Structure 1
């Protein structure tokens, strides 16, 4: 029986509202390596967004390469570029640490034809079985933009083009297919219609989806892009998002993070086993009074805590009171609950324009910003508003050149 370990969306370099997550990344990556050592897979795949930024820091590069090298020492490891990753960085990493050095570590920087890194073949079970993997990094809609188009790439254009690209990979994947020996896998960084998103996925464009029925039929499809671990529904074969190993924001505080272990035999249904990850500091939401927070304070030790306090007045003293109650929590945006009375009415004529500086000053106060800092911010805001009073924006050089060209068009003479 062949075994696959599927992980995804590490987002190394991610910062939680100004707080470093390096400690948490180190812990959860060590846990992933430990699971790989215990389960002894024949192949390890990472389905994209290795980094949170297209220009990762040297520290994050070291963290990624140290972990991937440890994984590659256990089994061949293939990583595809996600939408957050830089294809150029991936090309470099493949050059300095990839198969040319015999380390069993493969980076797929961009969509490649089968003969040039689009399809991989690995022996499994001592050579008795063979794993064949088609790898599809993130494909940007601009790839399918037509010069004749005035509106860019449409949803239909994207879906049709993706079907064509996947068909090319699958044709190569099935070439020489041995039903008694081969296990076929597909890995892609893609947004599949119907997947449950998380608030942290701000870069996912829902207008460019892949319908689940367009996914190629394989033994298992390893997907990346969505941070919440979940299966793709409505398919006759298993396809799954491994999800991010750490919660990326407080909307994922209750998610059960995991990697996925897949056991497969040729010609038989696979067994999909999510393995829960428990490392890294927990994210917690709290809504209640200060007294209720005090009663439950112990459970928030060592967590990133986002508290919303009922019945409290805004101000800097509120954050201080919360910190005294939960001194061992890392506070993120502590704030009073905002409650609107059911019979609240407007105290100004709706047709009148509201006083924006006063509204902005009230907002800053509700966020707990102190008076001196609030006033300097309001002053800068008023200056910006005054600059916008001039409704005739200055022209730019490119605009002037274009206007001149349109006014003095060139016509061909016979």
Structure 2
């Protein structure tokens, strides 16, 4: 029997209302290492968004330290997600990869099968093998052409991705021995029909174009990343494709989600077993809406939790946060607002002399302008997507700019 441990979407460096979550990350990563040491998998796969942003050297050190511990248990493969920098992954691969005698494999960008797109790992003393095809996040702009004035469509993207996957799948099945091989596909991709944690996540994912579940390769197990809510993929046979999800509740859209890694057990030629292993180290994120009296009656529920409180029947003055903090001293108060009239300062949970997160600041402004909650969330989603484009190595095309470039490259001259 071959065994695989699947984890994903760590988003190292993520904060919550500007509060560090380093202690939580350290605790949950230690929990993942402990699960690996106890379960002794033959292969460990991380399916992308190792980092929340490519900017922090401290997070790179945290990642490498933990991945080193995992690689001491089993070969560990990390595919780049849309939040990861391919250049950073290439550097990490050079510094820590197999060429340095270590069992860490950083997959920085799409690679052809002969160039690291398909990997083979012996298991069970060489009696079995896990054959792994890897698909890091592929930006839609990769398939944009100058002739396509309005950019890549969903159909174009799906067709192009099918072509890439077909090349990997053909190599995966080349020399396939059904009595010996377990076939695995690891990808950072949004599969249509899966459920992101909230409206903001859904808008972000759809910007990266959903692909139909039917397009997944016919493998024993598809290890997927990008969606933060752990879940199986509908439309494929039971257990054959799963999102491992994020290891912590990263924002209040994920409040209440049970987090996990996935332990996969597979015999060649038989249906695999995919068992989520719960992760318990993270602080819960708890929203509350009600009166101060109702909050006091439930205060014990919020010990150790991040609390986002909307208080009814109160004025949104400077004393509200203090009142809430006195009622729930064991909670970490990230937000306390009057439910009917939220001010920018109370929404952000910061003084106006501090620099807020831009998305939070924009959301506070919309709240002040009394925009409905649904419309405000949609506007913040679009705003956050535009900010995200600034971090893209391959920024979205501007059709007018491309047409101008083409005109300058081929100037029109009057016929003589």
TM-score if structure 2 supplies the norm length?
0.83
Trace 1:323-362 onto structure 2 (pairs within 5 A).
323-338=325-340
How many residues in Structure 1 have an aligned counterpart in Structure 2?
A: 363
Counterpart secondary structure, 2:326: helix
Q: Distance in 1 between matches of 2:280 and 2:351?
A: 42
| Partners of 1:78 and 1:105 within 8 A in 2 | yes
| Partners of 1:131 and 1:185 within 8 A in 2 | yes
Equivalent in the alignment of 2:121: 122
Distance apart, 1:54 and its partner CA: 2.6
Counterpart secondary structure, 1:68: helix
Q: Distance in 2 between matches of 1:15 and 1:284?
A: 16
Equivalent in the alignment of 1:344: none
What's the CA shift string for 1:256-288, capped at 9, x where partnerless? 100000000000000010001000222111122
Q: Distance in 2 between matches of 1:370 and 1:109?
A: 37
Equivalent in the alignment of 2:210: 209
Q: Distance in 2 between matches of 1:123 and 1:60?
A: 31
Does 1:145 pair with 2:144?
yes
Trace 1:73-222 onto structure 2 (pairs within 5 A).
73-199=72-198, 201=201, 203-206=204-207, 208-222=209-223
Equivalent in the alignment of 1:45: 45
**Change in CA separation of 1:180 and 1:194 when aligned onto 2, cut-off 3 Å:** same
Counterpart secondary structure, 2:286: strand
Equivalent in the alignment of 1:230: 231
Equivalent in the alignment of 1:278: 280
Distance apart, 1:79 and its partner CA: 0.2
Counterpart secondary structure, 1:281: coil
| Partners of 1:316 and 1:370 within 8 A in 2 | no
Counterpart secondary structure, 2:204: coil
Equivalent in the alignment of 1:19: 19
Equivalent in the alignment of 1:288: 290
| Partners of 2:16 and 2:250 within 8 A in 1 | yes
Equivalent in the alignment of 1:245: 247
Equivalent in the alignment of 2:34: 34
Q: Distance in 2 between matches of 1:142 and 1:367?
A: 36
Distance apart, 1:205 and its partner CA: 2.8
| Partners of 2:17 and 2:348 within 8 A in 1 | no
| Partners of 2:9 and 2:246 within 8 A in 1 | yes
What's the CA shift string for 1:82-136, capped at 9, x where partnerless? 0000000000000000010121100000000011110000001111100000000
Counterpart secondary structure, 2:141: helix
| Partners of 2:316 and 2:343 within 8 A in 1 | no
| Partners of 2:262 and 2:276 within 8 A in 1 | yes
**Change in CA separation of 1:304 and 1:209 when aligned onto 2, cut-off 3 Å:** same
Q: Distance in 1 between matches of 2:304 and 2:241?
A: 35
Counterpart secondary structure, 1:334: strand
**Change in CA separation of 1:368 and 1:178 when aligned onto 2, cut-off 3 Å:** closer
Distance apart, 1:17 and its partner CA: 1.2
Does 1:268 pair with 2:231?
no
Structure 1 segments (4+ residues) deviating >2 Å: 199-203, 362-373
**Change in CA separation of 1:413 and 1:107 when aligned onto 2, cut-off 3 Å:** same
**Change in CA separation of 1:37 and 1:141 when aligned onto 2, cut-off 3 Å:** same
Consecutive unaligned residues in structure 2, runs of 5 or more: 354-360, 366-399
TM-score if structure 1 supplies the norm length?
0.83
| Partners of 1:315 and 1:369 within 8 A in 2 | no
| Partners of 1:81 and 1:137 within 8 A in 2 | yes
Greater C-alpha Rg: 1
Q: Distance in 1 between matches of 2:312 and 2:290?
A: 5
Range with bigger deviation, 113-122 or 323-332: 323-332
Range with bigger deviation, 110-119 or 294-303: 294-303
**Change in CA separation of 1:192 and 1:88 when aligned onto 2, cut-off 3 Å:** same
| Partners of 1:257 and 1:276 within 8 A in 2 | yes
**Change in CA separation of 1:277 and 1:365 when aligned onto 2, cut-off 3 Å:** closer
Range with bigger deviation, 176-185 or 276-285: 276-285
Q: Distance in 1 between matches of 2:17 and 2:161?
A: 35
Trace 1:328-407 onto structure 2 (pairs within 5 A).
328-338=330-340, 363-364=343-344, 367=347
